[in-house]
């Protein structure tokens, strides 16, 4: 089954069933297909606010995975987390009902939009997709949006619009973004990650190259000129426009006169001509790059520089991206999703510019395979905070067959402390935090719960 096969089912009255419909991307997919006049049902393991919202919009959702749920359906869509032994998948195969991947369905939906902006890159996807959304909303373009996190403006991770533009966060893991058909492909950076799937950095670069080649002739690839891996992946690419952005080099779209701090201002300059002044309510050089990428995508869509400035001025960050949570013992408590050494480095650099006396960091590594593959890089970057506490590795989809622990990282960092559970970590933080500190919970797992527990 592929994207074009799914396209045949995108007609009013076509009956589809979505397994795992309570997830961010799947619930959005269900709503989009439902709004196109398809007869959609779904299933999920748990009741949730999302499930209740879907039912209220006219999409029946069953709790639990039952073979009879696919009865009478023309097609089934699943997420990567749903395996072949799932009762609904088994039943679909027995009945000859075609089963599609979530990304194939989104890839087919994109074909119905004049503009499809796909934001890819190892780091910064959620923030940049959110920034593009802010600009499109400022331009009243009524976009359809799919983000891998929560955007306060939308009060969720998606919206179903009536305009001619769709914006999608596009992940390289399992080559899932290769099902997409962008008219504007944004590549923020290419770094070594997901090495449980990719062989090495060359394999990753090859995947991003294929993603860029999915852009039709006459479409545009927006690329980070300051990132060597990105430019190597795109070397010799023809038949598409290439719009480069950057801070250091000879990019077409550049940030000039950068004024850093807790907020960031810079001049948006194209080929030497100042287009507008950007004032970002958030800090960090990495967010200057994200804003440049979002601006480049918006310019490609023909949006005016003043609309770009207005959209970005209203962007205070996506959920779990240097997100202020409150105060404890006089310390400011923030949470961030960084789970790769490059992301950690960018987050800590941004925080250093905020002028606190001490940076206290509680980091939870994400997956055993990533911790092992990038171990030395994690050790180096985690030497930067004034106080470094390490929670145990968040397993996610893995089992610890490697025999690795966060304790191994802590032992390599002078003064760092390892905590086998959140209770002992919280206790240590209650004694440690004081006026003048910024305290960061960092990681893609559930480390945010530590900050929330303190604030209770």
Alpha helices (H) in 140-264, listed in sequence order: 201-213, 228-233
Whole-number pLDDT of residue 321: 84
317 in Cβ contact with 422 (< 8 Å): no
247 in Cβ contact with 285 (< 8 Å): yes
73 in Cβ contact with 41 (< 8 Å): yes
Nearest of 338, 427, 426 to residue 385 by alpha carbon: 338
135 in Cβ contact with 308 (< 8 Å): yes
Q: What is the dihedral of CA 78, 81, 84, 88, to 10 degrees?
A: -50
d(Cα 378, Cα 422) in Å, to the nearest integer?
20
Strand 387-391 to strand 358-363: parallel, antiparallel, or no bridges (unpaired)? parallel
**Angle at the Cα of 12 from the Cα atoms of 8 and 15, rounded to 5 degrees:** 75
Give all domains of the chain, ordered by start, each with its CATH number: 3-103 (3.40.50.720), 113-313 (3.40.1190.10), 323-455 (3.90.190.20)
Tokens (6 digits) for 203: 């394999």
Residues 251-302: pLDDT tens digits? 999 999 999 988 999 999 999 999 999 999 999 999 999 999 999 999 999 9
Strand 156-159 to strand 144-151: parallel, antiparallel, or no bridges (unpaired)? antiparallel
Whole-number pLDDT of residue 386: 98
Residues 415-453: pLDDT tens digits? 999 999 999 999 999 999 999 999 999 999 999 999 999
Whole-number pLDDT of residue 171: 93
Q: Of 32 and 375, which is predicted with more confidence?
A: 375
Whole-number pLDDT of residue 152: 87
Nearest of 30, 54, 53, 48 to residue 40 by alpha carbon: 30
d(Cα 107, Cα 3) in Å, to the nearest integer?
6
Nearest of 182, 447, 208 to residue 338 by alpha carbon: 447
Mean pLDDT computed over every residue of the chain: 95
Backbone angles phi, psi at 330, to 5 degrees: 85, -10
Confidence of residue 317 (pLDDT cuts 50, 70, 90): confident
d(Cα 145, Cα 132) in Å, to the nearest integer?
10
Q: What is the DSSP letter of 365?
A: -
> In angstroms, how far apart are the furthest CA atoms of the chain?
64
* Number of residues assigned to the chain: 456
122 in Cβ contact with 189 (< 8 Å): yes
426 in Cβ contact with 454 (< 8 Å): yes
Task: Give the residue numbers marked as catalytic.
Answer: 125-126, 169
Whole-number pLDDT of residue 193: 92
Whole-number pLDDT of residue 118: 98
Mean pLDDT within 298-325: 94
Element at 166 (helix H, strand E): strand 165-169
Whole-number pLDDT of residue 416: 98
Give yes or no for residue 180 having a pLDDT over 80: yes
284: left (phi over 0), alpha (psi -120 to 50) or beta: left
248 burial level (CB within 10 Å; 0-12, 13-18, 19+): exposed
d(Cα 158, Cα 141) in Å, to the nearest integer?
15
CA distances from 139 to 51, 299, 314 (A): 31, 12, 13
Whole-number pLDDT of residue 24: 81
447 in Cβ contact with 439 (< 8 Å): no
Mean pLDDT within 75-99: 95
CA distances from 382 to 171, 235, 307, 338, 356 (A): 26, 34, 39, 12, 18
**String of b and e for 135-161 (b: at least 16 CB within 10 Å)?**
bbbbbebebbbbbbbbbebeebbbbbb
d(Cα 316, Cα 131) in Å, to the nearest integer?
9
Q: How much of the chain, in percent, has pLDDT values that exceed 70?
A: 100
Give yes or no for residue 35 having a pLDDT over 80: yes
Residues 128-157: pLDDT tens digits? 999 999 999 999 999 999 998 888 898 888
Element at 345 (helix H, strand E): helix 341-352
């Amino acid at each position: 089954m592929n994207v074009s096969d799914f396209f045949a089912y995108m007609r009013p009255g076509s009956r589809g069933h979505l397994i795992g419909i309570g997830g961010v991307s799947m619930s959005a997919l269900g709503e989009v297909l439902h709004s196109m006049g398809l007869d959609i049902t779904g299933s999920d393991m748990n009741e949730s606010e999302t499930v209740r919202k879907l039912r209220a919009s006219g999409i029946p959702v069953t709790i639990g995975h039952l073979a009879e749920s696919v009865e009478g359906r023309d097609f089934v869509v699943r997420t990567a987390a749903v395996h072949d032994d799932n009762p609904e998948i088994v039943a679909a195969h027995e009945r000859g009902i075609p089963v599609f991947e979530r990304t194939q369905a989104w890839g087919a939906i994109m074909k119905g939009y004049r503009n499809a902006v796909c934001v890819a890159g190892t780091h910064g996807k959620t923030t940049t997709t959110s920034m593009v959304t802010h600009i499109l909303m400022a331009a009243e373009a009524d976009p359809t949006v799919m983000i891998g996190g929560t955007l306060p403006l939308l009060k969720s991770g998606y919206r179903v619009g009536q305009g001619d533009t769709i914006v999608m966060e596009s992940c390289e893991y399992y080559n899932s973004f290769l099902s997409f058909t962008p008219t504007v492909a944004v590549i923020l950076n290419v770094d070594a990650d997901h090495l449980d799937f990719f062989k090495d950095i060359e394999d990753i670069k090859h995947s991003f190259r294929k993603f860029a080649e999915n852009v039709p002739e006459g479409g545009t690839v927006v690329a980070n000129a300051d990132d060597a891996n990105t430019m190597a992946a795109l070397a010799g690419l023809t038949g598409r426009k290439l719009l480069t952005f950057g801070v250091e080099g000879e990019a077409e779209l550049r940030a000039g006169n950068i004024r850093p701090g807790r907020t960031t201002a810079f001049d948006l300059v194209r080929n030497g001509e100042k287009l507008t002044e950007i004032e970002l309510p958030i800090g960090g050089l990495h967010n200057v790059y994200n804003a440049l990428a979002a601006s480049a995508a918006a310019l490609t869509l023909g949006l005016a520089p003043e609309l770009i400035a207005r959209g970005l001025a209203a962007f205070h960050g996506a959920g779990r991206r240097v997100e202020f949570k409150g105060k404890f013992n006089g310390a400011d408590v923030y949470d961030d999703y960084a789970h790769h050494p490059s992301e950690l480095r960018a987050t800590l650099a941004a925080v250093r510019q905020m002028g606190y006396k001490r940076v206290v960091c509680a980091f939870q590594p994400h997956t055993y395979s990533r911790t092992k593959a990038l171990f030395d890089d994690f050790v180096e970057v985690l030497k930067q905070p004034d106080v470094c506490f390490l929670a145990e590795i968040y397993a996610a989809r893995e089992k610890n067959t490697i025999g690795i622990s966060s304790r191994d990282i802590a032992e390599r960092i002078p003064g760092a402390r390892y905590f086998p559970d959140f209770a002992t970590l919280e206790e240590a933080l209650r004694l440690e935090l004081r006026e003048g500190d910024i305290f960061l919970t960092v990681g893609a797992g559930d480390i945010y719960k530590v900050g929330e527990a303190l604030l209770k």
